[in-house]
Amino acid sequence: MKSDAVKKGAAQAPHRSLFNALGFTKEEMERPLVGIVSSYNEIVPGHMNLDEIVAAVKQGVAMAGGTPVVFPAIAVCDGIAMGHIGMKYSLVTRDLIADSTECMALAHQFDALVMIPNCDKNVPGLLMAAARINVPTVFVSGGPMLAGHVHGRKTSLSSMFEAVGANAAGKIDDEELKYFEENACPTCGSCSGMYTANSMNCLTEALGMGLRGNGTIPAVYSNRIRLAKEAGMAVMEMYRRNIRPLDIMTKEAILNALTVDMALGCSTNSMLHLPAIAHETGFDFDISLANEISEKTPNLCHLAPAGPTYMEDLNEAGGVYAVMKQLADLNLLNLDCMTVTGKTVGENIKNAVNLNPEVIRPNDNPYSKTGGLAVLKGNLAPDGGVVKRSAVAAEMLVHEGPARVFDCEEDAIEAIKGGKIVDGDVVVIRYEGPKGGPGMREMLNPTSAIAGMGLGSTVALITDGRFSGASRGASIGHVSPEAAVGGPIAFVEEGDLIKIDIPNMKLDFVISDEELAKRKAAWQPRAPKVTTGYLARYEKLVTSGNLGAVLKVPE
């Protein structure tokens, strides 16, 4: 056992004395030590039930012959952090989570791990850590929130943010806004649409690192507790068979996940997290793979914010496995990939059935013949920008309009809510990228304000920052290179004509080579916005959005 390094031999007598201080029995010391990485806290709604998940996992591990030991991982609530300096601290926690989990697991020589994440950055952060540590590992999330109900319609957090825009436009009064506020988020769990947290929990199933239902069983269902016990038992089977994360998270598995991403219509943030996870496994993930896979992968689901269905509906329709079975029928998945069930993908999904073709469209009637995400390139984004095309109104798939340029999110929101943005405009928000932010803030407030004010089918938004999974419309993020390093988005001026062509994966602004060269020569780098603390260190190490915003030591 790996943990023998802290348990066996005369030299480990001091170590054993400390285990004695923890109350460990001889029998517990003789079993494999299984680290239970708990993201429980009392500030993230998706995490308020994780203490129950942890207890169930511990029971499963113990039943299967292991000794469970809990240690923590942090998590930020993106919704609460939205729209202020707190959002600078969201994406950056992904690396803190990976680093701190690596430290705890290796410092204490755990034999196996169960990761218990739920919300946006601690799912990919823990997947990154799992690849680094590479001991048998199983994931079990806290599960999604049930949809809210407003005037008899299902709703979610994205509707809440859009209600703020509608209120600003005078379309609903303060009393109606209060009604939304009290009914949009009715239970614990990760917010109820196909936002980033649920996207990554579903993709954990597709990667093979989570059991069936990990992404879709609602947080408040008793099935979630049973799943947690099964995860505790499953990790012991992985330990006995020595099946490790790098045996599971292969290049083929990551491409499977990207394919499922396209079918589900996942958050654009998956195009930050999949490259980062791939980086930890040694796979050089080029985001242009998204277009190659999208061209042959049908978009089968339109969950909120793209459509009127929610995670509970996907769960009842057969979940991620039902989607994967349909993709397998089209020969779009590698079925030989190993998973934490101890079986291959093909073995896992062979009996999966689509129980609701209104939620998971059949292969002969997809929402579109191409996948939910697209990577756009052109003179405005030479290294790419990402759009959730499944959530773009048909009339905005091709669009030309004048640039309305803002150097921070706050200025853009003020202009949108002040009625200064009109039909046809292309809002450009820059200096919000990984370095420029720093921290690559999500732009849910401006996208929701645009939608709430009735401009969602006439106004586009482009940024070197990123979008929440709850964003919809012609919202193009991750524009690379970012403005802070002299990317072309830094050279756009008010009124420049911007051309968006999503079907042909193009993003350009109309400018002569001579004028572009002139603007580039006149451009000067800006002083960092933050010069102390973690964000200052992050700004020096972080790479571009098209590389997954991973951290690298400067050469």
3-state SS string for 327-383: HHHCCCCCCCCECCCCCEHHHHHCCCCCCCCCCCCCCCCCCECCCCCEEEEECCEEE
298 vs 260: CA distance, rounded Å: 10
Report the C-alpha gap between 156 and 146 in whole angstroms.
Answer: 9
Q: In this predicted structure, what is the pLDDT of residue 96?
A: 97
> So what's the pLDDT on residue 452?
83
Confidence check: pLDDT of 241 > 80: yes
Residue 547 CA, distance from chain mean position: 15
User: Phi and psi at residue 104, in whole multiples of 5°?
Assistant: -65, -45
Is 468 designated active site?
yes
User: Are 217 and 225 contacting, i.e. CB atoms less than 8 angstroms apart?
Assistant: no
Residue in the block written with tokens 């012991």: 236
Residue 135 reports pLDDT greater than 90: yes
At 47-102, the pLDDT tens digits run 999 999 999 999 999 999 999 999 999 999 999 998 899 999 999 999 999 999 99
Element (H, E) at 384: strand 381-387
pLDDT of residue 328: 98
Find the mean pLDDT for residues 273-297: 96
Determine which of 177-186, 466-475, 509-518, 525-534 has the lowest per-residue pLDDT on average: 466-475
Separation between Cα atoms, residue 136 and residue 535, nearest integer Å: 33
What is d(CA 511, CA 25) in angstroms, rounded to the nearest whole number?
73
Strand order in the sheet with 112-116: 67-72, 33-38, 112-116, 137-139
For residue 361, the one-letter residue type is R
Strand-strand pairing, 426-429 and 460-463: parallel
On the 0-12 / 13-18 / 19+ scale of CB atoms within 10 A, 88 is: buried
Distance from C-alpha of 218 to C-alpha of 145, rounded to nearest angstrom: 6
Hey, what are 395's tokens? 């009339």
- Which of 124, 120, 118 shows the shortest CA–CA distance to 53? 118
Confidence of residue 242 (pLDDT cuts 50, 70, 90): very high
Mean pLDDT of all residues in the chain? 96
Please say if the pLDDT value at position 159 is more than 90: no
Average pLDDT of the residues in 13-20: 96
Amino acid 445: pLDDT: 85
Count CB-CB contacts under 10 A for residue 265: 26
Task: Please state, in angstroms and as integers, the Cα–Cα distance from residue 447 to each residue in 7, 36, 78, 163, 509, following that order.
Answer: 54, 37, 15, 12, 21
- Token look-up 């209120």 returns 167
Could you say which of 468, 471, 475, 480 is catalytic? 468
Best CA proximity match to 69, nearest among 107, 96, 42, 14 = 107
User: Per the structure block, which two tokens stand in for 135?
Assistant: 């001991």
The confidence band for 153, taking pLDDT boundaries of 50, 70 and 90, is very high
- Buried b / exposed e over 374-390, threshold 16 CB at 10 Å, is bbbbbbbbebbbbbbbb
Q: What percent of the chain has pLDDT over 90?
A: 91
From its phi and psi, is residue 102 left (phi > 0), alpha (psi between -120 and 50) or beta?
Answer: alpha
Residue 13 one-letter amino acid: A
Instruction: Give 344's DSSP letter.
Output: B
| Residue given tokens 């002040």 in the structure block | 418
Q: Which two tokens stand for residue 175?
A: 């009393």
Tell me what the mean pLDDT of segment 135-146 comes to.
98
Which residues neighbour 532 within 8 Å (Cβ) at sequence distance 6 or greater?
Answer: none
For residue range 372-406, list pLDDT tens digits in order. 999 999 999 999 999 999 989 999 999 999 999 99
Is residue 307's pLDDT more than 80?
yes
| C-alpha dist (Å) from residue 406 to 12, 311, 413 | 60, 35, 10
User: 112-116 and 33-38: which strand pairing?
Assistant: parallel
Q: Is 158's pLDDT higher than 90?
A: no
10 or 164: whose pLDDT is higher? Answer: 10
- The pLDDT, as a whole number, for residue 554 is 75
Tell whether the model's pLDDT for residue 173 goes beyond 80.
Answer: yes
pLDDT on residue 467: 87
More confident site: 262 or 305: 262
Please, which pLDDT band fits residue 469 given cuts at 50, 70 and 90?
confident
